[in-house]
Chain A
Amino acid sequence: MNRRNFIKATVVAAAASTVFKPFYIRAQSKKYRFGFSQVTTVEPWRVQFNKDMIKEAGKHPELELIITDGQDKTEKQVADVENLIQQGVDILLVSPKESAGLTGVVLKAIDAKIPVIILDRNVETDKYTQFIGGDNVLIGREAGKYAVELLGGAGSAKGNLVELWGGMGTQPAHDRHDGFMESVGKETGIKSLLQPMDCDWKQQKAYEVMSTALKSFDHIDLVYGHNDPEAYGAYLAAKDAGREKEMKILGIDALPDEGVTWVSKGQLTATFLYATPGAEGVRQGLKIVNGETVEKKITLPTLRIDKTNAEQILKENGLA
């Protein structure tokens, strides 16, 4: 066989295998197919979301899970959902990029008689089967209660507080603030040192704000970051000033490779879980295909993660 024929044969074989590969992959069919339309796969919380979902789906061998990536574009996500409708999935799970943008296609799925579970962000209709999401006010409230406890207990709490805001134009930041202030605001002994400072959820901005605060105030007892990267930024600033021992630092989100890791290293005092609805979505979907009735709305509980349980959570996620 001369070289030219060999090249030709290789090219033909490669082309043929690309085209015909689908046929034999298709052979293994499972009982249920769930389609999940994710917004993007480059954000840490979204990555964890997908991980949770795949992990839960792995526990149920009768289940086939299809995850699509909207690449952070409304058009792409709408096309993805349309595609899942055409494929005739048994359950459609959608975590919308925007409420308005995804409403139309969700209605289309409902028209096609596919049960729809909306995750994390709602759409402008109530004809879907179920909504699952976290509650930022609830999480803020838990953080607030713990803060009061750390500073001396209800009625006698005392200390200087630095609050680092998430993006001020976003609802979660306001919810996390309002929930926190429900208990902290009642304590006259707790003094909030700063005007609301927008740190835009970013570690770097929190670092800058915190360094300034450290220069202006001699003693800081508690830092409350609206998410873990902000809390970690505050820790780094305090450490650079040599003052990280004097304060307690609280964060929110508790992603295993961010907040939980920092807590286990003793850098943050505690973090509060903003759970991804991934695992719960799969569980609820299975209930629906098995004919059980489900609640219209599920609010995910939060969990305080401190030195006592951080190691265990890291182990569960294969990080320790």
Chain B
Amino acid sequence: MKRVLTSTRNFLLQTKLFWGLAVLYLVGVFSSPINRKGINIFLSPGNQSDVLRQVSNNGIIAVGMTLVILTGGIDLSVGSMMALGSVVCAMLLTQQGWTNASFLAIPVLALVTFFLSAYLVPLIAINAVRGSARPMEKANPSVRWCGIIFGAILAILSVWWTVGQLGTKFGVLGVLVAVPAVGLVFGALNGLFITKGKMQPFIVTLAMMVAILGIARLLGGSNMAVHPVYTGTNATENFDILRALVFQIIPVPGIFFIFAVLVFGFVLKVSTFGRYIYAIGGNEQAARLAGIRVDQLKIAVYAISGMLACTAGVLYTAQYRQGKPDAGAGAELDAIAAVVIGGTNLMGGRGSMIGTLVGVLIFGFLGNILQLRNIDSNTQLVLKGGIILAAVLLQEGQLGVRWKQIRSYFKVIDSGQEAGAKSRQVEEASK
């Protein structure tokens, strides 16, 4: 019997995050106002769909942030990166010919195509031959050359394809490929500074946050605060697909978010790459000594974070019909908060992607519930801060210990008072 109890308790402790979300959801259901048709507004499909759309940008950024934080780093540049993505995306969609945005995006896309295929081809070749290769293992020269030639061909093809689009402005596929490539390069730059320059991730990404904001403003031109995108008039109609509702209910940005969670959750769980990320976060020195190429892995992780942030930028442009250099102000903090609520340790090495999904949803549902109840916006801020603190406290996993400490504290006071009372009695008696 006792064993059953302990195992139940352990199960509950392990899944406490989900219970938190479930409790919040129930609060939402019970506190939601009912509309005139007698439908619970919180539960209405329209509202659930809105929440999924509202969290998707933050969610996509948080996925990349989870990887970075798992290695023990932090990426503060993602907000600016998202804004840069939105500006580049809006300019590619609305302006023909060679503009600042296409000058940046086309060479960068070619570069990324070249490096990715020059790296991936040998990797696939080794895997095909030997079954399981470590991702950083060196290929023999012939396979390597194969990859480089293949990469060069693909890069030329990508230039040919994108330059071909310049005459008619970019379409949806063009921006979905080119803009994340920009993020990938800036993210890799973050990683290079951190690993090769041996600098703190906090400082490097803080500097990049400021610099990229400037780049986004320069790119957009100083007399354009906002780049509006109106599909059908100044951009192609097919861009509408990125803000469409599948089956009238599932927002496309939400699908991107869920897809990112699944892909990178899978990568973390099963791939060597994922295992190494945990290893680096757990003990970087040990990982290095064990032969893991820490620097390469870290660069890859920051690059992925940048890529996801710029993808979020494309979705921002789609949802809000504009590209804006200050679109991402504060986005990095929302993403970090969601990751931490999801139980990922800021020191690295501990956490999961599913936790981040839950963290993002908790944040989204909380905002939705408070707004449906029309709670004052300043009170909302206070409550959000409170929820972050409470969630992190729960994540600490030492609640039992803390509780005992508090109890023993009260016991000390109690016994102290009793002792005091007794001694007073003794004193009085002796008089």
Contact = CB atoms under 8 A, between A and B. Distances in A.
Interface stretch (A98-106, A137-145, A201-209, A303-311): A98-106
Contacts of A71: 377
A141 to B, nearest CB: 27
Nearest to B230: A124
A20 B327 CA distance: 37
Contacts of B44: 86
Interface in B26-74: 27, 30-31, 33, 35-36, 41, 44, 46-47, 50, 54, 57
A98 B57 contact: no
Nearest to B370: A83
Contact of B322 (A22, A23, A88, A101): A101
A83 B410 contact: no
Given A79-B54, A82-B54, A86-B372, A100 B321 contact: yes
B57 A75 contact: yes
A192 interface: no
B412 to A, nearest CB: 13
A74 interface: yes
Contacts, number: 89
Given A86-B47, A100-B321, A124-B228, A80 B31 contact: no
B223 interface: yes
Size range of the interface on B?
A: 35 or more
B319 interface: yes
Contact of B410 (A4, A19, A66): A4
A75 B374 contact: no
A103 B322 CA distance: 10
A88 B35 contact: yes
A149 to B, nearest CB: 36
Interface in A73-123: 73-75, 78-80, 82-83, 85-88, 98-101, 103-104
A15 to B, nearest CB: 10
A41 to B, nearest CB: 7
A100 B36 CA distance: 32
B9 interface: no
A264 interface: no
Given A79-B368, A79-B371, A103-B230, 14 more contacts: A4-B407, A19-B30, A22-B31, A22-B373, A23-B31, A68-B377, A86-B50, A86-B372, A87-B33, A87-B35, A87-B41, A100-B230, A100-B321, A101-B226
22 contacts: A4-B410, A19-B31, A22-B33, A23-B31, A26-B33, A69-B376, A69-B377, A69-B378, A73-B329, A74-B324, A75-B54, A75-B57, A78-B320, A86-B35, A86-B44, A86-B46, A86-B50, A87-B33, A87-B35, A100-B226, A101-B321, A169-B223
Interface of B: 27, 30-31, 33, 35-36, 41, 44, 46-47, 50, 54, 57, 223, 225-226, 228-230, 243, 319-322, 324, 327, 329-330, 367-368, 371-374, 376-378, 407, 410, 414
5 smallest A-B Cβ distances: which pairs? A100-B228, A69-B377, A100-B322, A22-B31, A101-B320
Interface of A: 3-4, 19-20, 22-23, 26, 41, 66, 68-69, 71, 73-75, 78-80, 82-83, 85-88, 98-101, 103-104, 124, 169
